[in-house]
Each structure stands twice: as C-alpha cells, then as structure tokens.
Amino acid sequence: MDPREYAVCPITEFTEGSRLLVRVGDEEVGIFNVGGRLVAYQNRCAHQGGPVCRGRILGRWVEDLNSAKEVVGGHHSSDMDLVCPWHGWEYDLLTGRNIADPSISLKAVEVVVRDGMVYVRADSATRTPEAVPAHE
C-alpha cells in the first residue's frame, strides 16, 4: 500500500448517496457516493474556506422558460449540488465545479477502491476530480 493512502472504510459501507468526512493528514476530506461513483474534495469552499462538505446536497433547480424566454415554472434536475453552509455557494457534486462560475472548483482528492476498501490519497488535491466506480 502507498504510504500516502489512508484507509477509509469497506466499500460495502459506502452506499449510494452517502457522505463521509475523514481526516487525511492535516486536511478534512469529504467523500461522496454520487450515482455509484466516488468523489472526494477538501472540505474547504473556494469562496471563504467554509466547511463545504458539511453542506446540504440538493437537486439542481432548473427554471422552465417559454418561447419568449419568460420563466413559467421550474423543477429539480437529476444533477446534485453541494451547497456551502456559510454563504450558499453551490458546486456540482460530481465535478466540483461552481454552478455560477465553472472556472472555480473545489479541490478534488484522489479516491482508490482496492480489495474491497476505500482509500484516499494525501497530497493529491487537484482541480480535476476523477470519479471512480463504487465497486471493484
């Protein structure tokens, strides 16, 4: 095993829609099972460093427009957003990109599933998350 990897839990405990916050070195990391894929982010909002991974997970609200581009209703899409509890900044849960400005992203942390266990890698924070299947 890579010494930078931290064992989190057996994959069987990580059901679809679940979230787990763990300490990885000096960082808190949020790991999410999104539609059967695992993603992980540093628990720090890009806005002012709030504990974003502790925020609400909501279906994205989409406004319905008529042909004149007037709002005539709305609905929640199947895309899930993570909402920072401090100031309401929203991020796509699967990609980590900010909904209002996709050039802003959460820092992704590498997730590995091996031998029935979920691991995260210390010092792997990037701006390009890679979701891994929640099964081997």
Query: Considering the chain, what is the average pLDDT of its residues?
Result: 86
CATH dotted code for 5-133:
2.102.10.10
Q: At residue 99, what is the residue type?
A: I
pLDDT of residue 124: 60
Q: Which residues of 53-90 are buried (b: 16+ CB within 10 A; e: fewer)?
A: bebeeeeeeeeeeeeeeeeeeeeeeeebbbbbeeeebb
Q: Where are the domains of the chain?
A: 5-133
* Residue 117: pLDDT band with limits 50, 70, 90: very high
pLDDT of residue 17: 87
Decide: 65 and 71 in contact? Cβ < 8 Å. Answer: yes
DSSP characters over 52-89:
GGGSEEEEEEEEEE-TTS-EEEEEEEEEEEEE-TTT--
pTM of the shown model: 0.82
Structure confidence by residue, pLDDT tens digits, 49-74:
899 999 999 888 888 999 999 999 99
